[in-house]
Amino acid sequence: MGRQNWLFLDMNSFFASCEQQAEPDLRGRPVAVVPTLVNTSCVIAASYEAKVFGVKTGTGVAQARQLCPNIRFIEANPERYRDFHWQITEAVEQCIPVSNVLSVDEMVCQLWVNEAKLWQSLRLGQDIQRVISDRVGDWLTCSVGIAPNGFLAKVASDFQKPRGLSVVMMDDLPNKMFGLSLTDWPGISTRMEKRFRAAGVHTTEQMYRLSYSDMRRIWGGVVGERWWRMLRGENVPLPATKRGQFGHSSVLHPDLRTRAGARAAGARLLERAAERMRFHRYHTRRLVISVCSFDNQAWTKQIRMSTTNDTWHLLGALNMIWVDDIKIPYQVSVSLSDVLPDRNVTGNLFAEQQRIAWEQVDALNARYGRTTIVTASGLPAKSHSPERIPFGNIDTIYRSSALG
């Protein structure tokens, strides 16, 4: 029997399943989770009952209603999804320690020696699915992939959904993977697929035949080398992520599609970006703001600043570069770029009290809700700036608080 080293867990239609678990009248019905309940919004998660009709992530509300007239639209509830996320994580850890939480609905576990044989790995996967159902809710299902490394385990978790339990053994490589299209692989976007095709690679089988140097050339660097090794079952440690920026973007609620509303939304997005930046212990030296309208009017402004992580300082910079020349704004984006880790920033003794004050504000918002304390500039957007759940990593700030 072969040995498996990693287990990857992917929750099925997570946001929609959370709503169905929490609201029994939604169970068995087509459900779509949207950022806001307006016709210009789009679906961020669809239940399997809705997917049958062709509704998927990115489908517009109007189109989803045409595809599935009986669909129920539910406004996203980030607090609910985070709560279920922590419950699921704790349930999984009753079976095996979680090595890494990759996103709100994905996690990976390294198997111990006494769990690495095939029959042991399969039983562990079944135990995890059962524990989540028993302890968290039977509408919260997951697909599990087991493979020699986390990358292939993630791919295996997509083999069967929902409630899948799939295995890739070393002896299965590479033949078991040949049925996958290039874009079935996580990390190969449409753009990356074009690069493969330009190199004469159209199938997974052809990709496996590439040499080490060919993969590096197509990917344009060391990423290709990592891929070559991971495709063959090697466990390749990934380098630490280097932060380039912190930002937020929002399609404005209809009530905010005015000049004043857009400005308030911009201030609120900036507050949130600054809070995230402080949590990850960074400072910024550049602020970029963009506003656009339905008819493709747009402006982008940026300003360089002395190194800062202070919200007041950033709001002052925002006021300096804001432009009020779009009558009906539709979307606002804010980005804090050119960032430096705190350890590389010389401290300012005169700003120490402000730093302590913002840490306390962040802690209060972490414990009691993201809009417990907002600045006056962002106050008009408070009720129309629902908190977003990122599909990427879930910041620990949402779980813990500096207040204890």
Record the tokens describing residue 273, joined without a space: 């970006």
**Cβ-contact 267, 383 below 8 angstroms:** no
Task: Calculate ∠ Cα 194-200-203, nearest 5°.
Answer: 80
What residues contact residue 240 under an 8 Å CB cut-off, 6+ apart? Answer: none
Please state, in angstroms and rounded to a whole number, the distance separating the CA atoms of residues 310 and 270: 11
What residues contact residue 340 under an 8 Å CB cut-off, 6+ apart? Answer: 282, 283, 284, 285, 307
**Cβ-contact 284, 246 below 8 angstroms:** yes
Catalytic residue among 23, 75, 93, 106: 106
Please state, in angstroms and rounded to a whole number, the distance separating the CA atoms of residues 89 and 107: 8
Q: 81 — phi, psi (to 5°)?
A: -70, -40
Record the tokens describing residue 35, joined without a space: 């950022």
Nearest to 324 by CA among 299, 352, 304: 299
**Where on the phi/psi map is residue 221: left (φ > 0), alpha (ψ -120 to 50), or beta?**
left
Strands 329-337 and 282-293: antiparallel
What residues contact residue 366 under an 8 Å CB cut-off, 6+ apart? Answer: 397, 398, 400, 401, 402
Q: Which residue shows structure tokens 């960032």?
A: 339
Query: What is the layout of strands, in order, in the sheet containing 142-147?
Result: 100-103, 106-110, 6-11, 142-147, 165-167
**C-beta atoms surrounding 332 within 10 Å:** 26
> What is the crossing angle of helices 352-368 and 259-279, to 10°?
100
Task: Calculate ∠ Cα 75-78-79, nearest 5°.
Answer: 120
**Cβ-contact 143, 161 below 8 angstroms:** yes
106 is catalytic: yes
What SS3 class is residue 142?
A: strand
Among all residues, which ones are annotated catalytic? 106
